[in-house]
C-alpha cells in the first residue's frame, strides 16, 4: 500500500507571482518520495540499504528558498523541450522560432522560465499525485497552447513518472525529470564507487557547446560502451573522461524496457530505469562545483551525483534523422519512465 500526504511547503516570492507551494509525500514500505507542486520537483527520495536503513538519495534543498534561487534543475520536470536546442532556433511550416538562450549560444531545458520554475495544479491520487498546467501559446517562444499532465505513482520500490500532453499547434516537446542521485546518500562526496550499465549500442557525439554533431556513433570500443557494468571512477580514469553529459540512443520501440541500472556495492542499493523514451541523457554532475549548499547545509562538489534523464534526443527539432520530437494537434504525447529501487 502507498500512503499519500500533502502539506504546505512555503509561498513563492511576490515577484514570482506568489502562490502556495505544496509538498506531496508518497510512502510505501521501501520508498518515501517528496514531490513539490513547484516544477513537479522530486525534493527527497528515501530508500533502504541492505541493513534496512533509509537514506535520502537525491540532491536538493531543505526549504523553498533554495528552489526559487538559481540551481541546476535539482529534481525538476524540465520542458517544453529537455536538453539543448542549437542557437535556440528551429523552423516549423516555414516559420522560424527563436527561444531564449540560457546555455551559452543554446537554449536549455525550456528556456528562462521553463516548466521547472512554475507552479502546477495538483490532484491527489490513491497511490500518487497528478500535476497539470497549461503552457500558453508563445511561452518561452514555443508555439501552441500545450496542456501538460505529469503523474507520479509509487508501488513498493517502483516510482512511475508519466508525461502526457496535447497541443493546439505543432510544437516540439520532450519532457524529463532532472533528479540528481547518489545511492550512498545525498551529500556523499562522489559517485565513483557506483557501478553503472546503460543498454545502448550508440550515443551522440557533441560539439564544444554540447550540441550533437548529427553523428550517431557506435559505443563499441569506446569509453561510451556501458553495456556491461563499469565502476564509474575507474572507468572515467581509464578513458581520461571528465565525466558524461551525453545522450545514449535506445532501441526505438514503444514498449517499456530496462535501459539503465546503477548499483552501489557498499550499501547494496540499486536503481533501475525503465522507459518508453528513445534516449537517455547520462550526466555525472560535471558542473556541480561546491558553491551550492544543499540539504543539511552540505555542499555538492563535482561528480557528487548522477542523472539518468529519459527523453528525446537533444536538438532533434533541427536534426530530421533523429526521432520525431513534434507533437501535432489531435495527437497525444504520452511517455512513462519507471525508477525501480531495490537491494542487491
Domain boundaries, the chain: 3-343
- Give the pLDDT mean for 165-188: 98
| pLDDT higher than threshold 90 for residue 77 | yes
Confidence band (pLDDT; 50, 70, 90) for 17? confident
State yes or no: 245 annotated in a binding site.
yes
Q: Are 203 and 215 in contact (CB under 8 A)?
A: no
State yes or no: 315 annotated in a binding site.
no
Confidence band (pLDDT; 50, 70, 90) for 252? confident
CA dist 313 and 316 (Å) reads: 6
Which three three-digit cell numbers place residue 275? Answer: 522507459
State yes or no: 83 annotated in a binding site.
yes
Per-residue pLDDT tens for 192-248? 999 999 999 999 999 999 999 999 999 999 999 999 999 999 999 999 999 999 999
The answer for residues whose C-beta is within 8 angstroms of residue 227's C-beta and 6 or more apart is 197, 198, 199, 200, 201, 219
3-343 is a CATH 3.20.20.140 domain: no
Catalytic residues: 178, 309
Q: Are 325 and 172 in contact (CB under 8 A)?
A: yes
Amino acid at each position: 500500500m502507498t500512503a499519500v500526504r500533502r502539506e504546505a511547503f512555503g509561498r513563492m516570492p511576490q515577484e514570482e507571482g506568489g502562490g502556495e507551494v505544496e509538498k506531496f509525500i508518497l510512502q510505501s514500505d521501501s520508498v518515501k518520495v517528496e514531490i513539490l507542486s513547484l516544477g513537479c520537483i522530486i525534493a527527497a527520495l528515501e530508500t533502504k540499504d541492505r541493513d534496512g536503513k533509509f537514506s535520502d538519495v537525491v540532491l536538493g534543498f531543505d526549504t523553498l528558498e533554495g528552489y526559487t534561487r538559481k540551481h541546476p534543475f535539482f529534481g525538476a520536470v524540465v520542458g517544453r523541450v529537455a536538453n539543448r536546442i542549437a542557437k535556440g532556433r528551429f523552423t516549423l511550416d516555414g516559420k522560424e522560432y527563436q527561444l531564449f538562450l540560457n546555455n551559452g549560444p543554446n537554449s536549455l531545458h525550456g528556456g528562462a522560465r521553463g516548466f521547472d520554475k512554475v507552479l502546477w495544479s495538483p490532484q491527489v491520487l490513491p497511490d500518487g499525485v497528478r500535476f497539470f498546467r497549461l503552457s500558453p501559446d508563445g511561452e518561452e517562444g514555443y508555439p501552441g497552447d500545450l496542456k501538460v499532465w505529469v503523474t507520479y505513482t509509487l508501488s513498493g520500490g517502483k516510482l512511475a513518472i508519466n508525461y502526457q500532453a496535447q497541443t493546439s499547434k505543432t510544437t516540439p516537446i520532450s519532457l524529463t525529470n532532472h533528479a540528481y542521485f547518489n545511492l550512498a546518500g545525498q551529500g556523499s562526496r562522489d559517485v565513483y564507487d557506483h557501478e553503472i550499465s546503460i543498454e545502448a549500442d550508440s550515443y551522440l557525439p557533441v560539439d564544444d557547446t554540447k550540441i550533437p554533431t548529427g553523428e550517431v556513433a557506435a559505443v563499441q570500443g569506446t569509453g561510451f560502451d556501458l553495456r556491461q557494468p563499469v565502476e564509474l571512477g575507474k572507468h572515467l580514469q581509464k578513458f581520461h573522461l571528465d565525466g558524461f553529459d551525453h545522450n545514449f540512443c535506445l532501441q526505438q520501440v514503444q514498449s517499456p524496457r530496462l535501459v539503465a541500472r546503477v548499483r552501489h556495492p557498499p550499501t547494496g542499493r540499486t536503481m533501475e530505469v525503465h522507459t518508453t523514451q528513445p534516449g537517455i541523457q547520462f550526466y555525472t554532475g560535471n558542473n556541480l562545483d561546491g558553491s551550492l549548499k544543499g540539504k543539511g547545509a552540505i555542499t555538492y562538489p563535482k561528480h557528487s551525483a548522477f542523472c539518468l534523464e529519459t527523453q528525446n534526443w537533444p536538438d532533434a527539432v533541427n536534426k530530421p534523422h533523429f526521432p520525431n520530437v513534434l507533437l501535432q494537434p489531435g495527437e497525444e504525447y504520452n511517455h512513462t519512465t519507471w525508477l525501480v529501487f531495490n537491494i542487491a
